[in-house]
Amino acid sequence: MKLSIIATCFAMLVSSYSYAKDTLIFGIVPQQSASKLASQWIPLMNYLSEETGTTIQFATKPSIPEFEDQLAKGAYDISYMNPYHYTVFSRDDGYDAIAKAKNKLIKGIVVVRKDSEIQSMDELAGNKLAFPAPAAFAASVLSRGYFSQNDIDITPVYVRSHDSVYLNVAKGLFPAGGGVRRTFKAMDPQVTEQLRILWESKGYTPHAIAVSATMPKALKEKLQQALIKLEQTTPELLDPLKIQGFVAAQDSDWDDVRELALNVDLSTK
């Protein structure tokens, strides 16, 4: 019994020590360029730093697979990750969801050039199409699933980010590519004005803001409350993200994604 109590106290001390640090790392899935993500997220992180009394530092990676590698290593204290990532890394690497976008479902889209003669997904058969990464949930997994379910044979080519998809399709390097409405709306209008949405998927629970499972409960709650009240206090921080606000989230919110029984190889680079 005494040994059990000692072990419990030791575990608590280790947990406290691991978060007795000056800076928390907030990893953002690289749907867009690092510079664009930094301009969108750093003001929000500065706000969270003030609200929690702990410095929160922006981090991302050049590609989604590299970001996934960091999630697997537990490199981030806080992370904004796609729905499929959350179902994997909450199970295997101990991330707990604390928030998600308000009044939002994530939907995959397939875009083509506005002047393209393609009018249906069937017409894309036999082509190479641009996608951000194998496990980009809505932008890649859902659209590739549609092609597979409807026996439309396409070859996916992974171009690292949503913005790269839109740029490549606008330049005519691919006849079509996968994305999501949020990043499409956030893209440079000079690019999106050259594109049109050919197809859109059904909606699913959106990206998670999740924290390390070893983070102390009090700090989790501070972060969660700061995110929830953001739309009342400083809603201008949400505008660049194309998000109305954040609401509290729980693990079961992503059961709709789990029900798809996806098994995407995250080791694919």
Span(s) in the chain for CATH 3.40.190.10: 2-104+205-258, 108-200
What confidence tens digit (pLDDT) does each residue in 31-56 have?
A: 999 999 999 999 999 999 999 999 99
* pTM listed for this prediction: 0.83
Looking at residue 20, its pLDDT comes to 56
Q: Which fold has domain 108-200?
A: D-Maltodextrin-Binding Protein; domain 2 (3.40.190)
In angstroms, the Cα distances linking 208 to 52, 78, 101, 146, 239 are 19, 10, 8, 24, 18
Place of tokens 């101990």: 94
> Do residues 99 and 260 make contact, with C-beta atoms less than 8 angstroms apart?
no
Confidence class of residue 104 from pLDDT cuts 50, 70 and 90? very high
Does residue 75 surpass a pLDDT of 50?
yes
How do residues 194-229 score in pLDDT, each as one tens digit? 999 999 999 999 999 999 999 999 999 999 999 999
Lowest-pLDDT choice from 7-21, 58-72, 232-246: 7-21
Average pLDDT over the chain reads 90
Q: Give the pLDDT of residue 219.
A: 96
The whole-angstrom separation of Cα 125 and Cα 25 is 42
Strand duo 177-180 + 108-113: pairing: antiparallel
Average pLDDT of the segment spanning 188-193 = 97
User: In the structure, what pLDDT confidence band is assigned to residue 268 with cuts at 50, 70 and 90?
Assistant: very low
Average pLDDT over residues 66-81: 96
| 190: three-class secondary structure by DSSP | helix
Residue 13, class by beta-carbon neighbours within 10 Å (0-12 exposed, 13-18 middle, 19+ buried)? Answer: exposed
The whole-number pLDDT of residue 98 equals 98
Q: Give Dmax (Cα) for the chain.
A: 75
Which residues, 6 or more positions from 104, have their beta carbon under 8 angstroms from its beta carbon?
A: 206, 243, 244
Mean pLDDT of 108-114: 98
Fold designation for 2-104+205-258: D-Maltodextrin-Binding Protein; domain 2 (3.40.190)
